[in-house]
Structure 1
Amino acid sequence: MTLRRRFTFFTIFWLIFILILFNIFVYLFVINITLRSEDQLMTNKVNILLEDKRIDKPAGLSDPDLLTDYYNASELMRIVSPEGRVLNTSGSDPQLLALKPVFSVQHDTGMIYIDNRRVLYMKVPLYNGTQVIGTLELYRMLTLLDSYLRVLVIALTVTSVGAIMFAILGTYWFTSRLTSPIQHMVQTMREIDRSGKLRKIELGGKDQSAELLSLARAFNQMIDRLDRTFERQKQFVADASHELKTPLTVISSYAGLLNRWGRDDENVRDEAIEAISKESARLQNLTKSMLMLAEAEQEDWLKLETFDLVHLADETADMLHMTFHRLIRVQAPKTDVRLTADKEKIRQLLVILLDNAIKYSKETIDVTLSVNKGLVRMAVADKGIGIPPEEMPHLFERFFRVDGARRRSTGGVGLGLSIAKRIVDLHDGKIDVFSKPDEGTTITVTLPQKK
């Protein structure tokens, strides 16, 4: 079932339910008010009649003018003796006259039905001193009131049906305008699925609801993000193809050379084996970095824990010192800097930054750790070749390498800083680079102490 039909059925159902409750309330309220009014009229008439002096004497009960003076149409008034005889009567309705007279010493009021017509009655004992000398019976047919109630029922029915019809048309019109942008979104999605080309939704005018505008903007933002992702994927594939092409070409060329002349020429064989080994290692390193970067794109990449950053930095510095025989100094204002993050990814971040510093410098490398207002600051400084200003904007792009003329000598593939930035972004941190050519480079990472 479509959203339009669901909304229409839901609205009509609740409207009908509310109208039924309202009509029942109005009908019962009118009946209650009118019955109380009619009962009050009968009570007033009886009270006036009881003030007549003739009704206090047994002889006056038979006076024909006693009841005639108070009689109204659609009524029956009569006085019943203790023996059950009718002493006096006033009325013309045959159905009321056919009612059996009953002597009663108790005051009684109520309502009876005669041929589906309502009749109010009141029975009042008549006293002469302390002795009951008769019973005054008063019956009043509610014919006029019932006709008014039938008119009320018809009016309520007509207005309810009209309200329901108006609600159906109004709801259908409103839901058409409400779901039109959604249908436009669905059509855009189907067009994207059919053509494979990303398209944005055109935002409506001022008459469109804020929620739908927000939905359209969110959809367009998603399209922008997908577009950027696809572009990055295309660029990544293009760059990867370019980077993989060189080592594969070298390996293929030397393999052919080895196949043709390497069996007889020892120099050619040694050169080919060395080149193939070197390019295979490069290819292995490139593939490992690409897989690591693809893994870093996952949102659930992090495994958070609380650890001592100073201890981790010391371990990493000692490991790289043993590997490259380079002095790395770790400086911190205190011996314990607690950080809640993914420990292994922070270790990987340090390795990437220190590895770059080792490749592009010859002197001592300094790692400085500090904490300020809940932020952990980590700076890796070297005194190497530096970075030219025109290359700074491209520093974190994939496969981008500084010092392009000597990039083969460094052994890098240009993915380290891209991975480092992804690690920092996933930790809601910030990475900055300060560098001057021939003076050195300082890379500063700022991370929230508690993520």
Structure 2
Amino acid sequence: MRSITWRLTLWYAAILMAILFICGVAAFWVMRHLLLTEAAREVEAAVAAVQKLTSPVHENREEFNHVDLDDPELTAQDESGTIWLQITAPDGRVLNSSRALGNDVLAPGYIGPPVITRLRGQKVLLAGAELAGGALVQVARPLSREENFLKTLAGVLGLLALGGVVLAVAGGWVIARAALRPVQGLIRTARQISTTDLSRRIALRGPRDELYTLAQTFNQMLDRLEQGFRSQQEFVAAASHDLRTPLTVLKSYTGLLNRWGKDDPAVVEESVQAMTKAVSVMERLVNDLLLLARMQAGPPLRTTPLPLDELAGETVQEAGVIAKEVTVKLGPVERAVVAADEYYLRRALWALVDNAIKYNRPGGEVVVGVSVAENKREAGIFVADNGPGIDERELPRIFDRFYRGDPSRSQGKGFGLGLSLAREIVEAHGGRILVESHPGRGSRFTILLPLWQQEAMTAQ
């Protein structure tokens, strides 16, 4: 009973049993009504025939012996030829009766429509009417033929219902098992999947119904899990690689100092400077990882109205002091105010500017500007450079953690976390980052954010 196949089968059988029962009961009672209606018509026809035979023209006020109640004209009213008739006086005396009645007496004094009663241990249909001269006639018709037919009908309907239930159980089990075959494949695939093998997929066959969609969705989930697991492996490998270099530096210089260098002031000075630089590299990497984890956890942003033009101007001024071989200048700037957390958005913008400076050619140029979108609902702050650009094949992955695809990005200039952090921060603000790049002509990154509500209303 824990199997959904058997539960569906039993539901099929129960529903079919209910339908067969309702249809069988309806058929039985309709047939019973028709049979009894026909029997009543025959009884009423016999009563009318007796009334016609005892009409005033043929009236005999004292006796009704002249009426032959076994006349075929009367008994022929019933196809079975079995009708009992009786004529009684107003005081209940039997004046005439069918020979088939013998010493039995029908209900004397009864007049009225056909009713079911019992006589000689069987059901009969009884009707009565008043004759000329005050006499009464009662006509009875046995219902044994109808009862036998209804018993046979009930038995046939019962056998049909039982056979239908058996067929429903067998057919329902086969149909349910066939319909749930994709689920069985899903279960087998799920059991075969392990953390070292996420490549298995469910074969998609059959009609595109709900189960097909379920299998397709499961395959898509496996694709995302495999991609996430591979990204996690790459993340761990990249983080380990970037931490290994400063750790090696620390280990080398601490070993040098322990052996003999602590007595040489020049070696001590060189070791302190090298270890300080290594610790700074590790600190920056750990801080970036913590910030990235905090962004993915959904940090509580403290949004305030932030003018993008002022942020761009301040960033250009600060970057101009740091950049030595690259010129950083302010480009076209429009007045735009967005609702943002200044600390996080400044960090995202600095990641783009830092990348543009690091991966630019000597004597290159970095331009930071602000523009309002044509729809007057978004504002963009862009960072453009005239560096080597990014290959089109690498664009889909540049926002991945630790990704450094081109050779210029594997020369110790960064950890490959800047763009990933920038995207996480911008998306947390409900914005997006667009990138355009042409190899040999440079790249342009644009942060698009919704305008602050009041600013958007003013622009409209």
- TM exceeds 0.5? yes
Tell me, yes or no, if the aligned pair for 2:336 and 2:372 is still in contact at 8 Å.
Answer: no
Structure-1 residue corresponding to 2:458? none
Offset from partner CA, 1:372-402 (integer Å, 9 cap, x none)? 3476352423446453648954633433457
Per the alignment, do residues 348 and 80 of structure 1 end up closer, same or farther by CA in structure 2, a change over 3 Å counting? farther
Q: Aligned equivalents of 1:91 and 1:304: distance in 2?
A: 108
Partner in structure 2 of residue 398 of structure 1: 401
Structure 1 position 63 matched with structure 2 position 66: yes
**Residue by residue, what CA displacement relative to the aligned partner does 1:213-240 show, whole Å, maximum 9, x if unpaired?**
2222222222222211121112112211
Tell me how far 1:79 sits from its aligned partner: 1.0
Q: How does 1:350-389 map to 2 (within 5 A)?
A: 350-357=349-356, 359=358, 365-373=367-375, 376-383=378-385, 385-387=387-389, 389=391
Equivalences for 1:34-73 in 2 at 5 Å? 34-52=35-53, 53=55, 56-59=59-62, 61-65=64-68, 68=71, 69-72=73-76, 73=81
Q: Does 1:249 align with 2:251?
A: no
From 105, 111, 118, the equivalent of 1:113 is 118
Q: Summarize deviations over 1:417-442 as a string: whole Å, max 9, x none.
A: 122234556747452133565x6542
Alignment RMSD (CA, Å): 3.5
Cα gap change, 1:265 to 1:240, in 2 (>3 Å)? same
C-alpha distance after superposition, 1:302-356 (max 9, x if no partner):
7689864x5266357537746875777486545445x6x8886545433322343
Q: CA deviation at 1:56?
A: 5.0
What residue is the counterpart of 2:457 in the other structure?
none
In structure 2, the partner of 1:13 is 14
| Map of 1:98 onto structure 2 | 104
- How far does residue 34 in structure 1 lie from its aligned partner after superposition? 1.4
Structure-to-structure mapping, 1:335-346, within 5 angstroms: 335-337=336-338, 346=345
Conservation of the 8 A alpha-carbon contact between 1:80 and 1:101: no
Which moved further from structure 2: 326-335 or 28-37?
Answer: 326-335
- Residue 241 of structure 1 and its aligned partner are, at CA, apart by 1.5
Distance 1:448 1:56 in 2: 111
Q: 2:106 and 2:393 mapped to 1: Cα distance? A: 116
On the 8 A contact 1:382/1:442 being kept in 2, the answer is: yes
Are the equivalent residues in 2 in contact too, given 1:261–1:268 (CA < 8 A)? no
Q: Kindly indicate whether the alpha-carbon contact (under 8 Å) linking 2:336 and 2:371 is maintained by their aligned counterparts in 1.
A: no
Cα deviation digits, residues 57-89 of structure 1 (max 9, x gap): 524633242563413533211111011101111
Question: Is contact 1:367–1:381 with CA below 8 Å preserved after alignment?
Answer: yes
Residue identity over aligned pairs, in percent, reads: 26
Which one is further off, 378-387 or 176-185? 378-387
- Any idea what SS the aligned residue of 1:50 has? helix
The structure whose RCO (Cα within 8 Å, separation 6+) is larger is 2
Q: Pairwise mapping of residues 127-166 of structure 1 onto structure 2 (< 5 A)?
A: 127-128=132-133, 133-166=134-167
Counterparts of 1:131-210 in structure 2, within 5 Å, are: 133-193=134-194, 196-206=196-206, 210=209
1:406 and 1:65, CA in 2 relative to 1: closer, same or farther beyond 3 A? Answer: closer
Aligned partner of 1:311 among 285, 307, 311: 307
The separation in 2 between residues aligned to 1:355 and 1:320, in whole angstroms, is 11
Give structure 1 stretches of 5+ with no counterpart: none
Taking structure 2 as the reference length, the TM-score comes to 0.81
Structure 2 match to 1:434: 437
**Letter paired with 1:421:** R
| Greater CA drift, 171-180 or 146-155 | 171-180
Separation in 1, partners of 2:391, 2:62: 130
Distance 2:387 2:8 in 1: 68
d(CA) in 1 for partners of 2:247, 2:112? 116
Cα pair distance change 1:383/1:203, threshold 3 Å: closer
2:86 alignment partner AA: R
Secondary structure of the corresponding residue to residue 413 of structure 1 = coil
> Per-residue displacement from partner, 1:111-165 (whole Å, max 9, x unpaired)?
113476321111212244xxxx111111111111111111111211111111111
Structure 2: gaps of 5 or more residues = 323-327, 453-460
Report the Cα distance in structure 2 between the residues aligned to 1:390 and 1:123, rounded to whole angstroms: 104
| Match 2:128 to one of 115, 123, 131 | 123
Quote the Cα distance in structure 2 between the aligned partners of 1:169 and 1:63: 69
CA distance in structure 1 between the aligned counterparts of 2:122 and 2:342, rounded to whole angstroms: 90
**Does the CA contact (< 8 Å) of 1:107 and 1:125 recur in 2?**
no
Write the distance in 2 (CA, Å) between the matches of 1:61 and 1:7. Answer: 72
What is the correspondence of 1:26-37 to structure 2 with a 5 Å cutoff? 26-37=27-38
Q: Distance in 2 between matches of 1:205 and 1:13?
A: 31
Q: Summarize the Cα distance change of 1:147–1:390 in structure 2 as closer, same or farther, 3 Å threshold.
A: closer
| TM score, norm. by length of structure 1 | 0.82
Residue 51 of structure 1 aligns to a residue whose secondary structure is: helix
CA distance in 1 between partners of 2:447 and 2:353 (Å): 13
The 8 Å contact of residues 424 and 431 in structure 1, kept in 2 or not, is answered as no
Q: Distance in 1 between matches of 2:88 and 2:120?
A: 25
| C-alpha contact 1:118 1:143 (8 A) present in aligned 2 | yes
Alignment size in residue pairs: 433
2:378 and 2:449 in contact (8 A); partners too: yes
In 2, the alpha carbon distance for the partners of 1:188 and 1:127 equals 93
What is the CA-CA distance between 1:449 and the residue it aligns to?
7.0
Pick which of 175-184 and 269-278 moved more: 175-184
Equivalent position SS for 2:131: strand
